[in-house]
Every structure is written in C-alpha cells, then in structure tokens.
Amino acid sequence: MPTAPVILSGTPGSFARDVFHERHPKLIQQVLDALPYGPAERQAAEQLLAESTSGLLRPLDDSAHDHTQWAAWGSGLYGRTWGEAPFLWAESYFYRRLLEATGFFRPGAWQGIDPFAPFKNAELAGAAVDSELAALAELPLLPEEARFEALLSSALWGNRADLSFQITASTAGDHSSALLVDDSAALRETLATADNPQVSLLADNAGRELLPDLVLLDHLLTTGLAAEVALYVKPAPYYVSDATTADVLATVERLVAGPGQEAELIGRRLWNAMSKGTLTIRTHPFLLAPLPFHDIPSDLRSELAGSTLTIVKGDLNYRRLVGDQLWAASEPFAGLVSHFPSPVAALRTLKSDVAVGLDAAVVARLDATGESWRTSGTYGLIQVCSPAQH
C-alpha cells in the first residue's frame, strides 16, 4: 500500500495552520454575531478559540453523549498541542467542540439550534438562487447528454459557477482549463451500462451547492441513469455549511416555491421520490468522525457496498476518501480509493493540500505559476474508480 506523511495542524506556514489561526477566529466571531447566544455560550466559544490556537487538547466532558467515542478517537492526542494533531482530526474536533460550546447537544434553550443556520438560510433565500431556479427552464431544451454534463459541472463547481451559468453556457468547456481531471464520461458510462443502477451521493455543503446536487439526482432518476438514489447527509451541523436533513428539505421546498415552473416540477418530483423511496435521505454517526473513509464501520460499509456508484462531493469528503496525507499529486487515484465499499466518483474543487491522480506535466505547470493552486478553489476534479478498477 502506498503511504505518505499525515498532514498536521500546526506546521508553520501551512494551509492547515492558517485554518486554525486565521479562519477559525473569524468564524467564531461570525457565529457569535449571528445568534444571540448568552454569556455561557460566548465564553465557551472564546475558550475554545484560545485552546485551539495556543493551548492543549482537552477531551469532551464526561456528560457529553459521545464522550466515550471521542475518547477512543483521540487516544494519545489529549494533553498535546492542537498543532501536533492530524489536520483532519483536529479540524473535525474543533467543530464538535463548537457545537458543545453553543449548546447544540446539551439540554437547554439552545439544544438542536444549528449555529450555522443563519448563513445557510441567507444563502438559500438570496437573489442568486432565484436566478438559478429561473434558469432551470432551459433544461428541457438541452439534449439529454448536454443536460447531464451541465448538471454534473454545476454539482462540481457549486457556488463558484452557478447553475444558471452552467445551463446557459454555450458549451460545457467554460471551465475546461480549470478542470484538472475529467472522468465524466466514465461516470456516465458506469451508470448507463448498469442494470438497475443504485447511486449513493455523499453530500457536502447546503445552500447553493446542495441545489445542483438535488437537480442532478432528479435528472439521474428521471432519465433512468439511477433506479434508486441514497443521499447521505450529516447527522448534525458540521464544517459551517455541511448539509443536514433539514437543509435538504429546505432546498426542496425552495425548488417548489420557484420562481419557475421547471423548478417547481423538479422540487415536486424530488418530494414524491422521497415519499416513494426511490430517493432516500440517510445519515450515519461516522459521517462526523475525524477519520478517513478507510475506517468506515461495517454497517455503513454494507449499505454503500450495494451501490453501483457512490458520488463523493466536496473537499472534506475527498480528504477522507484518499487520506489527508502529503501524497505526490501524481499518485494514482484508483489505487488510493480501492478500499471504498463501492465504485466511487469524486466531484471536488481543490480547497486543501491533498491532490492525487494528476498528470505530472499538469502538476509541473501549476507549480511553476507560483499560485496556491491546491487551496484556492480555482481548480476542480472529476475522478472515477470504475467497477473494472475497483
């Protein structure tokens, strides 16, 4: 098995360290500004910030419902600095601790209140979504294959290039220079050649990124590229904008509300598909784990093993899929994901250091630019480990 150093949280000058020392302080301030948390919640959030930037890792209190689980996950890390912990682990633990600070799991007035809901709701209610929903009227005018390419591209780029842009663009190549790997043909062929294709999608963000995911799933169901779809979401708020069941329902309702007849039709088809069971929303505690997908537990592994293809969305899921390690960018994708329970496709914009499966000449060209191409969100990947490679 190939191996590479695990990315740590505190390496000087690294992207991971910047997340803790630059991004997280701004995030905590935004959370405290967005909701009228009381003094206890505010103090706990500020203590978390101080601990995660200059203190030592401490475990969850014994009263936390998942104290035992996190004690096992963090064995050997507590009492050390946050910077000594693997980036994937420490970043996940930061969000778990933020939920603890804001009272999400504790009995009381703030129990079950998503601290990130104000950001998600504002995005979903924004004017940009209106234009995207109106643009869905163009979908029936496109040939089926062009429709698939536009929706796949939209699901890849999320809110960087909106759904209306993808649908009305003259070709699917508007982002071709930024798409470093394009296995979209293999993705479609995997589904088109399967009998009774079963698709699982591990969702990433809510709002304008979940919207094209749902429209893509509707397309797979209505064209027969999927007989059934399972949409996996997080069981609790996570990484600011990660999708939960509540976010899925809000997005479907937004589709039904329009504007536009096509948006309403898609929303109602999705609602009916959920009612019939051809589209199921699923979740699992492991989706909040600070671990790579190599460690998927047996019950979730059995669920995913029945999929013709699992589509893995977003940067965090990509890090968990291939391993949050300092891989050579030319390391073959299929070799790193063969552990996954089913054939798998990754739709991911690059927002962290991990990147694999790239042509060496492409890597050399990008490195020569001097830009932070691995973390800028400018570049994307559609990578597939097909049934033949799995």
Residue 303 has pLDDT above 80, yes or no: yes
**How many CB atoms neighbour CB 216 within 10 A?**
27
Q: Which of 90, 115, 140 is the last residue of a domain?
A: 115
Domain assignment of residue 1, yes or no: no
Rg, the chain, Cα only: 21
**How many CB atoms neighbour CB 223 within 10 A?**
14
Domain assignment of residue 3, yes or no: no
The predicted model scores a pTM of: 0.95
Mean pLDDT of the chain: 93
Number of domains in the chain: 2
One domain for residues 242 and 301: yes
Burial 328-342 (b: 16+ CB within 10 A, else e): ebebebbebbebbbb
pLDDT digits (tens, 9 = 90+) for 265-302: 999 999 999 999 999 999 999 999 999 999 999 999 99
Percent of the chain with pLDDT over 90: 89
One domain for residues 196 and 58: no
One domain for residues 235 and 319: yes
Instruction: Please report the pLDDT score of residue 387 as a whole number.
Output: 81
Strand order in the sheet with 309-313: 179-182, 380-385, 344-349, 309-313, 198-202, 228-232, 279-282
One domain for residues 203 and 342: yes
Domain assignment of residue 373, yes or no: yes
Residue 172 has pLDDT above 70, yes or no: no
Domain range for 36 is 15-115
Which of 55, 121, 122 is CA-nearest to residue 93? 55
Q: What angle do CA 69, 294, 16 make, to 5 degrees?
A: 75
Domain assignment of residue 7, yes or no: no
Domain assignment of residue 2, yes or no: no
One domain for residues 174 and 65: no
Residue with the larger pLDDT of the pair 159 and 226: 226
Residue 349 has pLDDT above 50, yes or no: yes
One domain for residues 270 and 370: yes
Residue 160 has pLDDT above 90, yes or no: no
One domain for residues 321 and 207: yes
One domain for residues 148 and 111: no
One domain for residues 180 and 319: yes
CATH number (domain holding residue 181): 3.40.50.10880
Q: Which of 85, 115, 145 is the last residue of a domain?
A: 115
